[in-house]
Amino acid sequence: MPSTSEVGHAKNVANLQKLTEQVTVYTLYNPPVDNLTIANLQALYWKKRTN
């Protein structure tokens, strides 16, 4: 029986978009790691969306 789970690059990019949208609404969002800032998450999303 084939797997019905959603995996792969497209699903990861979609989840990154969801994460970015969710943390954007939190005014107190202040990640300890610079790579997790909203600006960096958005940049990563747009970069990976085209790959």
> What digits encode the pLDDT tens for the residues 6-23?
679 999 999 999 999 999
CA–CA distance, 45 with 51 (Å, rounded to integer)? 10
Spacing of C-alpha 26 from chain mean position: 15
Are 45 and 20 spatial neighbours (Cβ–Cβ below 8 Å)?
A: yes
The whole-chain average pLDDT of the chain stands at 90
CB atoms under 10 Å from CB of 13, counted, come to: 18
Residue type, 6: E
Tell me the backbone φ, ψ of residue 30, rounded to 5 degrees: -145, 85
The ranges assigned to domains in the chain are: 9-49
Q: Name the pTM for this structure.
A: 0.79
